[in-house]
Amino acid sequence: MSLRPTVDFLLHHWLQAEQLNQRERFADHSRETFDAVLDTCERIAREKYAPFNRLVDTQEPQFDGERVILPQATHDAQKAYAESGMLSAAQDYAIGGMQLPYTVEAAANAFFAMASVSIGSGMLTTGNANLLMAHGTETQKRVFALNEFSGRWSGTMCLSEPQAGSSLSDVATRAVPDGEDFESDPLGPRFRLKGNKMWISAGEHELTENIVHLVLAKIPGPDGQLPPGVKGISLFIVPKKLVDTEGALTGERNDVALAGLNHKCGWRGTTNTLLNFGEGKYPVRGAAGAIGYLVGQPGEGLRCMFHMMNEARIGVGMAATMLGMAGYHASLDYAKNRPQGRPVGPEGKDPNRPQSRIIEHADVKRMLLAQKSYCEGALALELYCARLVDEQHTGAPEAADEARLLLEVLTPIAKSWPSEWCLEANSLAIQVHGGYGYTRDFPVEQYWRDNRLNMIHEGTHGIQAMDLLGRKVLMENGRGLQLLAQRINATIERAIQMPDLAAHANALGKALQDVGAATKAAWATGNPAEALANAVPYLQAFGHTVLAWIWLDVALAAHSAPESAARTGRLAAMRFFFHYELPKMGAWLGVVSRRDATCADLPEAAF
Amino acid sequence: MSLRPTVDFLLHHWLQAEQLNQRERFADHSRETFDAVLDTCERIAREKYAPFNRLVDTQEPQFDGERVILPQATHDAQKAYAESGMLSAAQDYAIGGMQLPYTVEAAANAFFAMASVSIGSGMLTTGNANLLMAHGTETQKRVFALNEFSGRWSGTMCLSEPQAGSSLSDVATRAVPDGEDFESDPLGPRFRLKGNKMWISAGEHELTENIVHLVLAKIPGPDGQLPPGVKGISLFIVPKKLVDTEGALTGERNDVALAGLNHKCGWRGTTNTLLNFGEGKYPVRGAAGAIGYLVGQPGEGLRCMFHMMNEARIGVGMAATMLGMAGYHASLDYAKNRPQGRPVGPEGKDPNRPQSRIIEHADVKRMLLAQKSYCEGALALELYCARLVDEQHTGAPEAADEARLLLEVLTPIAKSWPSEWCLEANSLAIQVHGGYGYTRDFPVEQYWRDNRLNMIHEGTHGIQAMDLLGRKVLMENGRGLQLLAQRINATIERAIQMPDLAAHANALGKALQDVGAATKAAWATGNPAEALANAVPYLQAFGHTVLAWIWLDVALAAHSAPESAARTGRLAAMRFFFHYELPKMGAWLGVVSRRDATCADLPEAAF
């Protein structure tokens, strides 16, 4: 079974990605060039990623005191990825890119996430370089970003600190000017950094010649104190090894030291590290601190970093989606081949019949259709968001602005929804396998462990929820939510004319009204503490509404396709969502609308 | 933080366990003897189990070709458990038991499950021996059961086979009479067994001198064919090493061979095996096949085994509950001590304030209260079921019969509900920890992995659901469901008189009506295929109704207690369940009532 028909249907039949080729930036592209990219990625994922997914789980990164050792398979996979040109797929021809629409890039990367999410496909490197393309100087772009796009170097994002976790306002890494001439360095204003960064993925390894860390730090004020809050945060390039303005290594190691590898429940193919900056392990150029080059203006660091974080959040949503998809395909294959028991017929079970394959059991079908509904729905959402990114970058001004705002509202869902429901899909994939699914002889338990990370990194569920209810649905006087409602209503208006979709269209309309009413009720007192106490149930209800909309819209596209098993399956997955999932919303919105204080008011001693 | 106050409250204030001491069997017991048992178990669990929980996860059982090697800590823990007398706690004084109520035994065993579920507390051994006490001959009891109760030998249950899994009617292990004199063996009619048994926990190890396997097999008919269906299944004692009628080892190894260890996602402290019976690795007494002794009558094997499986299912529910509880306590401790960020106040966040501990964040409180609500509710349910076991065994005839029937209906819930929701609790415990929870430096990821087994073993979720909707709510003309409804209504009648509980009482009444109506609607066509297509959503809704009832009943007990933080917490956990959880039922019952065929009707090619 291949993912490709689903991807092709969503890209072409639903999103009509080829229409992008009417735009100047994509004018050289065609269905054929898109297909060629997908073919290449599908092949590399099949040959260099999938066969080694269990290997990278069992051979965790090891630190020998000097170097982090990763399996040869990881080196080979990342080399093949870089050689495919995917790191710079979206970049201009002028710098060696393909000017590929992000929609197609995201679809192509899905194959790697499905084959082996933790070997990695360069998401951080691309995001890091993209940030520099947006906020760096010409020299920073040329020296750092281009060497990342080529795969010669890789990139990280260094936000969290051990004492602060998600609370970025408490970043304590300190950056001070490096000498009198600090402003005249051609690589950017030169600082010395000192601090510790936690949860840094790919923070240390030998996969590439160099590692470009993007580091959040604070520049002390005249009183020597770090400014409080997030407004005092600046952004720095801190290369593992120092380089000159031509991108050649100078031979000097920067003072960035591995302080520890995190040993994780899953996602073990990617090194996750605690890094010490400027603690003196690798003294450099006769002064204390790791050398870093300011990106953008002082105090603008978080704004720059958010440029990278939004892409990263869509990337995490896609990773969660494809882990779910991998489990769906594995359990579907198992269910089609495993004989066991007999389905219940009108007269019960007949032990004289031969055993059936388990896909004939109604409850196994339920578990498979749930996975299909979660994972193919989530994939559609991620590709829809990717299409918005293209619209934001290449659309007419009004459409681009609408895309920007819709992305603001949808990003928390694109990140959180698959991380919750495609994890549930992975649990169902285990359940379909029965005891075998709980063993390491089958891949599904690893997918489940790998996927558990996605509700945590790049902003936890709780943080996505606060972002959605506390910021995104309010910003620009609620215009983002209104825009989303317009899109949803447009789908409803088309679906309501189809006899077999009308009831679903009405259910979606009701859900949308309920979300709107709950948003108002949550904020009725104007007190953020009351409004946000149930932000996560709000996020869950909002997410289910968005997915119901996505499914109804996909169903409209499926409707217009010729009769086929795939069409039947898509319409059934849509019906599953409306019958089994959307009705869950009431429970979540109830506590939001009442501003239920059962949890928030409970004194600590009562737990 | 200790579990003990919760156990004491449930046992004494709620279930009034001491009243059992008015019964002749328990007349020597008192609150003091109960406390002494709990004290001992709490201490052994703390000293011999908890410190080694991570060790048994990292040092998986190894097979050296001859023997299965387990960590010394496992030997020490099981020795301490056996020496405590807990293996025979419920047995008669005459055979060395304590005549302890099962309610107290179950509560005492909870401490071990919480400290290290996979080191094991002898649940299988006790269950195996209990089965022999119920169905074995006097010699079988004396030779096998008593040596298990003493801890000298251990026990297994061998049901599943690689080709049949949960489908016991397809058991293919063959048992043929062993010689002309097979019926005159003092240990029971002697057979030769040949077959493979999969998923056998504790199937091979050196923890005890001998292992007593209880094996399901079929005796071929006169035509040499195995009888079809479950009616042809018989039960056999197959000791790993042969013994004489005094229980001494004869020095002969029986032909039971380890064919493989299963490498699991979690629960790694317990060996899980594929065993070959009678395949010739250890030829014994000059003929082919493993020697086994018939228990009970031929063809009655499954009925006998169910005696053990019902206990095992309550045991699994308790294990799932206590894994959830372990995660709750760990994440509560973390939340009380980890400073990070600031709670949202009426004016938002103030970055000039020092960081708060994360228990001050509303969403962290929500995740903690959800865990408390799931796990303490599940513990109450398990203890309620344990109390029914005591009633069944020692109550007046009518009460005993009611207890039996209530247990029939509640066992699928006692097994399935904690395995789903206390797993969810474990996921929340990870989430409270953030990135740290995903590392192996904290215990919560292991609890989550360990707990994932519980939806699978001793009858999957799907099997529990078919048992509930296909058998238990129908049996004896629906009297079990009626009895349960009476108990629930009795709680409602008391609660409705309390101003702060009346709304919950009404909500529970509505839930109960909805379950009743859905039961009828599911069976309205009389077609099992239609009725059972959504058996799992039915199980989920039924489970939430039962838990809401348990919580309301616990709340009535809490109500009558003096004001305290613990009382406040119990009432809040009850309110959480009614506000956040019970409203989920509608989504599950909707598909049941409509006999939704979205999944069952989908052709295979459409997935």
Q: What is the pLDDT of residues A265-297, one digit of tens each?
A: 999 999 999 999 999 999 999 999 999 999 999
CA distance A131 to A214: 9
Predicted pLDDT of residue B231: 86
* Domain enclosing residue B98, as ranges: 1-121
Q: What DSSP state is assigned to residue A251? A: E
A137 inside domain: no
Tell me the two tokens of residue A212. 């470009």
B144 inside domain: no
Among A262, A346, A580, select the one facing B591 at the smallest CB separation.
Answer: A580
Are A562 and A579 in the same domain?
A: yes
Q: Which residues, at least 6 apart from B26, have a Cβ–Cβ distance to it below 8 Å?
A: B20, B99, B100, B101, B394
Are B521 and B445 in the same domain?
A: no
Q: Which residues, at least 6 apart from A15, have a Cβ–Cβ distance to it below 8 Å?
A: A103, A383, A384, A387
Residues in chain B within 8 Å Cβ distance of A170:
340-341, 355
Please say whether the beta carbons of A382 and A314 come within 8 A. Answer: yes
A110 inside domain: yes
Cα-atom radius of gyration of chain A, to the nearest Å?
25
Contact A466 B344 (CB under 8 A): yes
> Is the pLDDT at A125 greater than 90, yes or no?
yes
Complex ipTM: 0.97
Tell me the two tokens of residue B289. 């096949």
Contact A431 B340 (CB under 8 A): no
Q: What is the pLDDT of residues B39-80, one digit of tens each?
A: 999 999 999 999 999 999 999 999 999 899 999 999 999 999
- Top-confidence residue, A365 or B169: A365
Residues in chain B within 8 Å Cβ distance of A228:
351-352
- pLDDT, average across residues A560-572: 97
CA distance B354 to B339: 9
Q: Which residues, at least 6 apart from A397, have a Cβ–Cβ distance to it below 8 Å?
A: none
Q: What DSSP state is assigned to residue A232? A: G
Contact B572 A462 (CB under 8 A): no
> CA angle, corner B547, sides to B544 and B548, nearest 5?
85
Distance from CA of A99 to the nearest CA of B (A): 35
Question: What are the respective helix, strand and coil percentages of chain A, to the nearest 5?
Answer: 60, 15, 30
Are A365 and A245 in the same domain?
A: no
Lowest mean pLDDT among A299-308, B60-69, B501-510, B581-590: A299-308
Are B56 and B12 in the same domain?
A: yes
Residues in chain B within 8 Å Cβ distance of A368:
599, 607
Distance from CA of B363 to the nearest CA of A (A): 6
Backbone torsion region of residue B23, taken as left when φ is above 0, otherwise alpha when ψ lies between -120 and 50, otherwise beta: beta
Please say whether the beta carbons of A602 and B569 come within 8 A. Answer: yes
Residues in chain B within 8 Å Cβ distance of A372:
607
> Is the pLDDT at A581 greater than 90, yes or no?
yes
Question: Residue B277 belongs to a domain with what CATH number?
Answer: 2.40.110.20
Q: Which residues of B are catalytic?
A: 458
> Is the pLDDT at A298 greater than 90, yes or no?
yes
Among A166, A372, A599, select the one facing B365 at the smallest CB separation.
Answer: A599
Are B285 and B307 in the same domain?
A: no
Predicted pLDDT of residue B309: 75
CA distances from B171 to B136, B216, B462 (A): 22, 8, 19
CA distance A101 to A93: 13
Contact B599 A362 (CB under 8 A): yes
The sign of the torsion formed by the CA atoms of A555, A559, A562, A568 equals: positive
> Is the pLDDT at B538 greater than 90, yes or no?
yes
Confidence of residue B343 (pLDDT cuts 50, 70, 90): confident
> Is the pLDDT at A307 greater than 80, yes or no?
no
Contact B166 A341 (CB under 8 A): yes
CA distance A128 to A143: 13
Among A160, A340, A566, select the one facing B164 at the smallest CB separation.
Answer: A340
Distance from CA of B223 to the nearest CA of A (A): 16
Contact pairs from chain A to chain B, CB under 8 Å: 288
Are B454 and B464 in the same domain?
A: no
> Is the pLDDT at A351 greater than 80, yes or no?
no
> CA angle, corner A22, sides to A17 and A25, nearest 5?
90
Distance from CA of B96 to the nearest CA of A (A): 37
Among A170, A230, A440, select the one facing B265 at the smallest CB separation.
Answer: A440
Chain A residue closest to B605 (CA)?
Answer: A565
Candidates A161, A382, A391, A458; catalytic one = A458
CA distance A275 to A200: 7
Are A451 and A574 in the same domain?
A: no
Among A165, A348, A527, select the one facing B528 at the smallest CB separation.
Answer: A348
Contact B361 A228 (CB under 8 A): no
A500 inside domain: yes
Backbone torsion region of residue A25, taken as left when φ is above 0, otherwise alpha when ψ lies between -120 and 50, otherwise beta: alpha
Mean pLDDT of the residues in chain B: 96
CA distance B276 to B255: 8
Please say whether the beta carbons of A454 and A319 come within 8 A. Answer: yes
Residue finishing a domain among A99, A121, A143 = A121
Confidence of residue B122 (pLDDT cuts 50, 70, 90): confident
Please state whether the predicted TM-score (pTM) of the whole model is above 0.90. yes
Predicted pLDDT of residue B27: 97
Predicted pLDDT of residue A493: 98
Contact B440 A265 (CB under 8 A): yes
Are A307 and A416 in the same domain?
A: yes
Chain B residue closest to A593 (CA)?
Answer: B579
Residues in chain A within 8 Å Cβ distance of B343:
529
Percent of chain B residues topping a pLDDT of 70: 100
The closest alpha carbon to A532, from A483, A474, A455, belongs to A474
Predicted pLDDT of residue A40: 98
Question: Residue A45 belongs to a domain with what CATH number?
Answer: 1.10.540.10
> Is the pLDDT at B523 greater than 90, yes or no?
yes
Contact B365 A602 (CB under 8 A): yes
Predicted pLDDT of residue A387: 97
Distance from CA of A246 to the nearest CA of B (A): 38
Chain A residue closest to B424 (CA)?
Answer: A424
Most B-contacting residue of A329, A363, A588 (CB-CB within 10 A), to test interface: A363
Chain B residue closest to A459 (CA)?
Answer: B434
**DSSP labels, A537-577:** HHHHHHHHHHHHHHHHHHHHHHHTSPS-HHHHHHHHHHHHI
Please say whether the beta carbons of A413 and A381 come within 8 A. Answer: yes
> CA angle, corner B301, sides to B299 and B302, nearest 5?
110
**DSSP labels, A352-376:** TSPPPBGGGSHHHHHHHHHHHHHHH
- pLDDT, average across residues A233-260: 98
Are A321 and A293 in the same domain?
A: no
CA distance A4 to A7: 5
A206 inside domain: yes
Phi and psi (nearest 5°) for B210? -150, 160
Residues in chain A within 8 Å Cβ distance of B602:
365, 369, 568-569, 572
Predicted pLDDT of residue A386: 96
Are B539 and B592 in the same domain?
A: yes
Predicted pLDDT of residue A310: 73
> How buried is residue A313: exposed, middle or buried, by Cβ count under 10 Å (0-12/13-18/19+)?
buried
Residue finishing a domain among A459, A490, A511 = A459
Tell me the two tokens of residue A420. 């919750």
Contact B449 A262 (CB under 8 A): no
> How buried is residue B311: exposed, middle or buried, by Cβ count under 10 Å (0-12/13-18/19+)?
buried
SS3 B104: helix
Percent of chain A residues topping a pLDDT of 70: 100
Among A230, A362, A527, select the one facing B600 at the smallest CB separation.
Answer: A362
> Is the pLDDT at B152 greater than 90, yes or no?
yes
Are B343 and B443 in the same domain?
A: yes
Distance from CA of A109 to the nearest CA of B (A): 23
Contact B351 A228 (CB under 8 A): yes
Mean pLDDT of the residues in chain A: 96
- pLDDT, average across residues B578-590: 98
Tell me the two tokens of residue B455. 């939806």
Are A185 and A204 in the same domain?
A: yes
Distance from CA of A369 to the nearest CA of B (A): 6
Domain count of the fold of chain A: 4
The amino acid occupying position A278 is G
Chain A residue closest to B580 (CA)?
Answer: A587
B347 inside domain: yes
The closest alpha carbon to B589, from B514, B506, B509, B507, belongs to B514
How many other CB atoms are there within 10 angstroms of residue A562's CB atom?
Answer: 6
Contact B607 A363 (CB under 8 A): no
Percent of chain A residues topping a pLDDT of 90: 93
How many other CB atoms are there within 10 angstroms of residue B479's CB atom?
Answer: 16
Question: Residue A336 belongs to a domain with what CATH number?
Answer: 1.20.140.10
Confidence of residue B308 (pLDDT cuts 50, 70, 90): confident
Residues in chain A within 8 Å Cβ distance of B435:
160, 165, 198-199, 262, 456-457
Phi and psi (nearest 5°) for B291? -80, 130
Q: What DSSP state is assigned to residue B525? A: T
A572 inside domain: yes
Residues in chain A within 8 Å Cβ distance of B434:
165-166, 456, 460
Residues in chain B within 8 Å Cβ distance of A337:
none
The closest alpha carbon to B30, from B48, B49, B46, B17, belongs to B17
A145 inside domain: no
Confidence of residue A347 (pLDDT cuts 50, 70, 90): confident
User: At how many degrees (to 10) do helices B102-116 and B301-337 cross?
Assistant: 60
CA distance B138 to A413: 65
Residue finishing a domain among B298, B313, B329 = B298
- pLDDT, average across residues B385-409: 97
The closest alpha carbon to B181, from B297, B280, B300, B285, belongs to B285
